[in-house]
Amino acid sequence: MRFPILFLLIVLLIQGCGQDSSQNQSTHLQKDTAKSERFDIPITSSDNQALTTPNVPKIINPKFNDFARLVAGLPLESGSELAIYTQTDNYKTFMGNMEKSWAKVDSDRFAKMRAWANQELVVANQDHTPLFYPFSGPDFVNAYNLFPQADSYTLIGLETVMPFPDLSTFNAKMIDNYFISVLESIDDLLDKSYFLTRKMSKDFQRGRTEGILPVLCLFIVRTGHTITNIEQVNLAENGKIISTVIDTVDVKLKGVKVSFFAPKDNRTKTVYYFRQDLSNSGLKQNPNFAKFLANLPISNSYFKSASYLLHFPYFTDLRPIVLEKSRFILQDDTGMPFRFFNRSQWDLTVYGIYDKPIRDFKNMGQKDLKGFYDSLHALGKVTSLPFDLGYHWGTKENNLIRAIKK
């Protein structure tokens, strides 16, 4: 009888050691995860999925998601402190108008964009490559519908970014006006697919409603996501991102980091928005941001309604960065000038119609791009676009250029 008892004791001892080892590994993994979030050390997609409880987002600060849903006209979580603002007739009207507008644009444009991307952007969406979107303003929604698999989205614009306002300091009229201004600020993007530059300075700089953050977060929750946290970001001298808690409502921020949970992908993603002049002089005045661009990982890049800025001589510092860092570029004719796509380095596909720019940019025509379109049209190798996207929304002469690095 001694041998079976001794054998049983040895087995129990081995199992106990294995459990202790497993618990220690789990503890170390949790510590490493916390450290990576604190210092913005990226976690790989497989790690992220392994660390995330299926379909249960870890919300660090629920007030951000609550506010985003409030301005998006979506139902709030049970017990939300913001529920008091949803009881007025004016808010209920706002909620109905928002729902109607969103349903229409989703049917008319976004659903068609998603279907098209599933066919034509397979290479870009085969993994979780980050998306780089200069001259974007707060346009997360078009970027997401075309590039839904990206783990992070870097948006850059000139518009002000501020923390969410404290609605408890508003009177009833100010609150009503706030929601009216939210609808007005997204009207052009929903109608035309882009923000009008001359209007953005007005729409996003209205005293207490100043800043792009509410609209950015509206787009995030309206696309089916849950915001888990928002932090302000600054850049160190080496270009690394420093994320810190937003502790005031009265300061203009250099940038924000919005973390959000994507139920379809069962992982947390990130949107960065930086307020930055991307011209040569703008980058010279902010060497930390220039270093940040130099440190960008290999990305997919997207340009839409970009005012042809990369065509001008005062944006020559950004052009080579885009070409070097991009493995895939999707743009209309307002993005990278066609002549900079070396055919030995890029596979090019064009869609839609290219004739000439709209009247506001009548001098920005590209003869080489038109020649490329015409030659492929003659061979029947240009497919139409099933949606409006860009400056030609009124004439339906939309164009897109897909460039895949060889």
**pLDDT tens track for 302-349:** 999 999 999 999 999 999 999 999 999 999 999 999 999 999 999 999
164 vs 152: CA distance, rounded Å: 22
For all residues of the chain together, what is the average pLDDT?
A: 84
Q: Is residue 371 part of a domain?
A: no
Q: Is residue 299 part of a domain?
A: yes
- Which pLDDT score is estimated for 5? 42
Provide the residue range defining the domain that includes 118. Answer: 46-331
149 vs 399: CA distance, rounded Å: 23
Q: How far are the Cα atoms of 8, 309, 338 from residue 325, in angstroms, in the given order?
A: 60, 18, 17
Q: Return the closest-CA partner of residue 297 out of 331, 279, 266, 270.
A: 270
Q: Is residue 290 part of a domain?
A: yes
Residue 68 has pLDDT above 50, yes or no: yes
Residue 119 has pLDDT above 90, yes or no: yes
Q: What is the DSSP letter of 336?
A: S
Q: Is residue 23 part of a domain?
A: no
Q: Is residue 356 part of a domain?
A: no
**pLDDT tens track for 291-301:** 999 999 999 99
Sign of CA dihedral 45, 47, 53, 54: positive
pTM for this model (two decimals) = 0.83
- Which pLDDT score is estimated for 181? 85
Q: Is residue 394 part of a domain?
A: no
Structural domain count of the chain: 1
44 vs 9: CA distance, rounded Å: 41
Contact between 120 and 402 under an 8 Å Cβ cutoff? The reply is yes
Q: How confident is the model at residue 28 (pLDDT cuts 50, 70, 90)?
A: very low
309 vs 279: CA distance, rounded Å: 9
Residue 118 has pLDDT above 80, yes or no: yes
Q: How confident is the model at residue 189 (pLDDT cuts 50, 70, 90)?
A: low
Percentage of residues in the chain having pLDDT higher than 90? 69
Q: Which residue has the tokens 């929604």?
A: 141
- Which pLDDT score is estimated for 366? 97
106 vs 93: CA distance, rounded Å: 20
3-state helix, strand, coil in the chain (%, to 5): 45, 15, 35
Q: Is residue 340 part of a domain?
A: no
94 vs 74: CA distance, rounded Å: 11
Tokens standing for residue 390:
């860009």
Number of H helices, E strands in the chain: 13, 10
Q: Is residue 18 part of a domain?
A: no
